Structure formats: structure tokens, C-alpha cells
Amino acid sequence: MTEQAKESEVIDPEVMPPETHLELSKPSVPVTIEELSGLPDERGVEIVESRKKILDSLRKASILMTSPSDWLLFRTREGAVTAFLQDSGCKRIWQIWGISITPTGEFQKLVDDNTKDFAYRCTADGDCKVTGLKVYDIEGIRYSTEDFCKDVKPDLKKEMFVKLAAVANRDGNIIRSLTGMKSVALEYIEDVWKGTNKKTSLCSKGKGYGTQAERQGAQVQEAAHVPAGQEPICEICQARAKFWPAGISRDSKKPYGAFWACPSREHKWSVRDEDFQKTRIAAEKDQAQQEAAAAVARGE
């Protein structure tokens, strides 16, 4: 690793020495592939790497500042879990990204004439000094019928509650899009929280999570939902392995976990589903990181 790549791990780019090439490694400086490839030796690659590192440091520092209750988990039918940073968490992290928010237009009050239920809507522009990203006219909206204010009295107080919640929602939408915290892979958060007392099992659960029994049932099903063509391969005959759900051994009466085995059982080749899933997740993460690096190189 070069001296400059090490320097770039600091969170505040302001403290980095103002050298020309280092300047390019700030995420706020747009660079094109042409500009990068025009640099001598491996400098282009180094710059991409250090830009990626700055963003990664910021994301990690942000996630460390959040609590499990700040995150809402979503799960696809295939079992992939992503986390959404709720407005409460956005309030904790915006400062380290140098985000400023400028309201645009007036508050709008929308009223249902029949029920007198109402909503407040507002918009703002957002600017992230660290990355140079900007977003425009981002909306926030909250309703008087939502749980957080359903029983608030008197009406004037309720008005204030809904109005403030709309602002928090607008700011949350801005902060999430500027920091990439709309959809974070659960494994990434687990990685960052390793060694702390924060546990992703304490995160709030949203769409895709049923009752506990349904969740356990779904876990058994999940492994069977590995996309066709991505099953593990028998190391002996290269055939695609067959999935066997968890169960209880007929002979020993002991429970066993789900596993994959060669369809021709003569080979006696098998892999525990848990181990196979870990390798898969690691491979997906690698790919995601490569894509992120490519996106940074394109100046996105």
C-alpha cells in the first residue's frame, strides 16, 4: 500500500495534504475513466481505491453511530436481507458527511374533507460536501392517522407533531440518498458492529418477515430457493448438488442441519448449507464491492 492510500483512510478529507493527485482521490472531485487512465503508472487504480476507501470509512463510521432500533430490515423471497436506516438514525450521521439541507417551497397541508384527517408535505434540496453529491426537491410527508400521533391531543399539538415528522421524513430521505443508507446489506452492518454490543437481531423487522414460526419455516425453504445454476457442485463428478432440508436422523435420532449432496449418492460428497451460504454471501459481497469501485471510478 502506498503512503497516499493510507492517508486517504481518514474521514475528513480536509485534513489531507493538498497534492494534485491526492486531490483527485477526494470523492467530491469528479473524475472520468479517461482522466484516470491518462495518469502515469498505476495512479488511476490507486485513486479509485482511495476514493472507495473514503466512502467505505464514512459508511462504517456512520453505521457505528447507529443503534439496532434505527434500522428496519426487509427480506426478499429469496432470503436476501437489506437494512433501511430510519429517520432516527439519519439524525445521528448527517454531520460526518457534511450534509446541508435547504427547504424549497412552502409546507403543504392536505385535508380529507370527510374525516378531517390530514397530512403535511414539504420539500428540500440536499448537498453533501464530502462527496459533492446533490439531490433536489426531495419530499417528506406524514399523516395524522399514523400510529405515532393517533392519540395526541389537543389538535394543535397534533398539527405540530405531523409537521415535524414530515420534516424529519424529508431530511431522512435526503440523508439516505446522499449516504447510500436506503438499502444496506445486513452482512455489512454485522461486519461493522463486530466486537460491539450491537446486534442486528435487535433491528426492527419490516416487510418480508412473518411471525417467528413463519420465519423459521421460511429459513428451511430459503436454501431450496438458490437460483438454478448456482447450486454447489459435487467435487467428484461436477454434478449440481441436491438440497436436503434440516431434519432428525432416523438412526441416531439427532437433529442435523440442511445440506447439499451429490445426486449420485455413491460419491458421498456433501456440504453443509450454512457453509455454502457463507461462501455465496462472500462472493456476492466481493462483486458488490467491485461494482461500487467501478461506480466511483465513473464519478457516480
Binding residues for Zn ion, rule: CB under 5 A, are: 234, 236-237, 239, 262, 267
CA angle 180, 185, 191 (to 5 degrees): 105
Question: Taking a C-beta distance cutoff of 8 angstroms, is the pair 34, 42 a contact?
Answer: no
Strand order across the beta sheet in which 134-143 lies:
99-111, 118-128, 134-143
203 CB contacts (<8 Å, ≥6 apart)? Answer: 68, 69, 71, 72, 73, 83
Q: Which is nearer to Zn ion, 236 or 295 (CB)?
A: 236
Q: Which is nearer to Zn ion, 134 or 268 (CB)?
A: 268
In angstroms, give the least distance from the CB of 260 to Zn ion: 11
- Cell 461486519: give the residue: 191
| Distance from C-alpha of 198 to C-alpha of 148, rounded to nearest angstrom | 25
In angstroms, give the least distance from the CB of 274 to Zn ion: 21
Q: Which is nearer to Zn ion, 171 or 273 (CB)?
A: 273
Q: Which is nearer to Zn ion, 158 or 267 (CB)?
A: 267
| Distance from C-alpha of 47 to C-alpha of 265, rounded to nearest angstrom | 51
In angstroms, give the least distance from the CB of 259 to Zn ion: 14
In angstroms, give the least distance from the CB of 262 to Zn ion: 3
In angstroms, give the least distance from the CB of 228 to Zn ion: 18
Among 273, 83, 85, 93, residue whose Cα is nearest residue 169? 85
Q: Which is nearer to Zn ion, 10 or 237 (CB)?
A: 237
| Distance from C-alpha of 167 to C-alpha of 104, rounded to nearest angstrom | 12
In angstroms, give the least distance from the CB of 127 to Zn ion: 58
The beta strands (E) that lie in 12-143 are given as 71-75, 81-85, 99-111, 118-128, 134-143
Strand order across the beta sheet in which 81-85 lies:
184-185, 81-85, 71-75, 204-205
3-class secondary structure, 241: coil
Q: Which is nearer to Zn ion, 90 or 226 (CB)?
A: 226
In angstroms, give the least distance from the CB of 231 to Zn ion: 12
Burial (CB < 10 A; 0-12, 13-18, 19+), residue 218, is: middle
Q: Which is nearer to Zn ion, 41 or 266 (CB)?
A: 266
